[in-house]
Structure 1
């Protein structure tokens, strides 16, 4: 059965896509229109690549020799105080550390030790480290520092930084470090010091401002460092923008140097300096109001091409052949005249960064559940679990204490990424009890604000071999649940959308999806909207009864149960053998009064002429079962098929079902 299910996945998805296109009158999917050409090079460079410029993937030298992944594969934690930051930054193992709010470090100028395999990222523009330094000791490796403001350890009167070594970020003899989208300002010594044979470093999209000595590289006689420096903004700084001493390869491109501190110093006010035996390549940078924009020692090499100089004076040294960065990695070079606008917009902390943590399965976490386990309890930021194409045979549970989780398949189609198990409700557990619906579900979602996209959820329990049983593919109890471009495969009780208790209203929105089963395969008490989707009623082999599509148990005070709208029901069962639904009263509770509306939905010939039936001693006529403008060979208007009036239908829209008290509107673009 497992292998048969797997082979049928693609066929089902193709059939459902065709059926959906037919139901909606679509001839196919059209690509988004090409972006209108910008009026200037600057605008063209600034517009369409915003997502690329905020990518979570390191580039340049930090991407080589195994790459830099930081804390990927470890726990996600959010810190709001110095003690927590220090604890996790120095801990053994992998951590993704979200810095939320401003953390004032004491004593003034103290170090926060950062060990290997860490990502430290500010949440939006809120993450700040004040009066303190992030420090990486020799041997530290695989560290990402992103989206932080590090500021204000300046000692009044010490402009030259001679009395205290209060850097913003300092590292000695490290490798594989990515410094990205930070703002470093007004510190006691250097803003960023990369020292003593550090290797495979990328420094990108940062702001260095209001300081004397911005960014130094070297403090070594060895020629080992490989560093990429791109799209940084140096403004209101005097020197080290950067200075690079004895680096094997220093690639500087698309940086913006502006408004240099003008104190009349003829030597130590400068832009880029290639010192010692450094090989430096500068490309398409922009220098404005800068003295000595780029210079090189006689022993060093410096190749410059494509940069723009505006109101600059002093040295413009170019000699030697240096190296070709493309011998090491590919990169996108922006036009020099676009650099000021790009760097002003995209450098420094960004509102979107740190708000959505990305966890990759199986690249960073071996299973979907292990990625969910990495999400902190009480999670207050979005976490996206990106799942590579493949079949994941496991149970997955998203607990109530882990909201804002998204599971997203990364394949071309939803059938490319499948989460599946084969547990029936009647399976006996070690303690002698049975699994029940909770235990049978392949995936259980208890957390609020959950989203799944581009995935298939399946329970491939083999009824033919082992007998009929509940066997859920998905069970939800959380509120504000969204499924887009998903498939739910099973037989009995495939999809249960529920709530923690009868009187609690949970909402579920399902769009552009596919659901199949036979007995009560869409059921529960959650307010559930299924829109623009395909529902397949399977053939159980009966000539007269091939099951029920729905079994709602809506709380009597809730006017909205199940809405199936703008969709298509398909079936290969004999004509007149499938029911639309029956009323489920769990435990005989009379307050669970089903509400189901099939609206603007095509029905096949398999639907019974009298499609609603009693259940558990409760008459279907006591439930709230209606149709509105259903069509197709299975649609009819008879005494056994209540029709909703136009007046009532005006108050039974997708918006009405989902709005609640918080105006939730997941259907909007």
Structure 2
């Protein structure tokens, strides 16, 4: 997509007239509770409020929590039944009903006609099931007098009609006209034809929190009347690669904006016109937010009142304004809140905004309560090594076993065998780097018993062969010294998975060549891996294997070789035909290496197997200048062009337009290559 650079007008405008509306139309993961379903009703699963999980009974914070206009806070459809929908017809049926409902969107719903906005009625919660709830090509309309509505954990995307500043198609993700008590939370809103969020016609008691707003000309517009009655809270949102209305607040009585992260990435065709804008008679309090590279980060009309405190401006330019004659006000007069320090905002918001795997899902209880085993190298736990704790897990265990590993460096190899499912290895330190499991075997390392070398798979520091494995809040590394051992095979795996439903959350996987081996138990078996909020570090084929693997919202760090040179390959998939391979989504590829020195991938036909169909898709990801302009290459006599390698809407200095050497997915193809498609009905959640 090529778009013109924006210019800042002396007074940017966002009012517009319409002849008609489209019709028919703190970082904490909310733990999923156990939902005991009752009978089936209308083909949909039902549950009473008494058995509902925490996310189904959650209530809004901010102004949406205030008792006013006959409505006591915003809690959506928690007093009604819970229904699961997978079609547009069912979504419309329950969203437009007069009764309260919690409506779980479990899959991708493509709207017809394009641009349709479903008219949501009062007392509704519409929530995505984990990361699988997608609304494509349309959105929601919350009309006059409609109240007590929650739109949560959804991805609403791709109504874009090919015109950047589109004046013809009024296709918003969420539009509100005269509504009150609405909570928009943990959504991913992007690439629509008009605005992502429009709060119009005195919509009030609105909270917008923990959302990602991106890839759109207009992010979030508020106003469209001369009245000054609206009260709005906007916090912990990640607004990136949007040109205007970030947000623009027109005639808002109390606009409380805090802990938002506004980001304009350098080197892209999208350039911000302005950041936060207080218009008309707005009274805005703007605090503890971070502005990165934004032009005109804070602007106000002379008639508006705008007070700033604790904000950070990095690489910004142009207008940065505050002041006004209006009366100062304190949000705590209306509701309690605690603002995070501005220095923490980028990491908090980037890791916490958008859909969460634990919202909108139900936990299936195992046959027994979870067990926790503690590991501490100083002897203060039950075990001194991680492997000793794994050995203590009963064979064919039916319940979750959490191996809680205290901070420290554990120099050992760990294997979780196939007959020990439901194991979690979790560091108990304050961060990923506090608990480290590391060893230094390589493919060419001789085994102690003299039976030969380990081989690539056998070199792994941690090997996972059991289904439903989880790892979180720790580092897994292989520190094999390549420079000292140039005489043997260099592949040195940090983590090998050969199982299904492997969930890697908030981990670092670090090595050089062949760092992360994502495999399956056998060629004919499915092996799904979901990695999020994590780091992978390496240089040659360092994300590889035949698993159906997603690396989502993570950082891939490129390393120089042992001799200081820059050259490498990020992925080497060996996907079986008919399966999905490696998906890198919503992430960042970076590192202290030379420009144009790394390929995104090459096809690994393991053992020369010509029946394999390797796949890597890299989408919605920021690529540094280290990525080659022709980012794919051949391997061992097999051409990458005969396999499945593609990109979609990547950004950054290493991104590029479509060519014969750089395939790009069409919008239609991309709609079939989302995270939910890779998960194939599995919703990863902490347990």
Name the TM-score class by shorter chain.
0.3 to 0.5
Which TM-score applies when normalising by structure 2? Answer: 0.45
Which TM-score applies when normalising by structure 1? Answer: 0.46
Structure ranking higher in helix proportion: 1
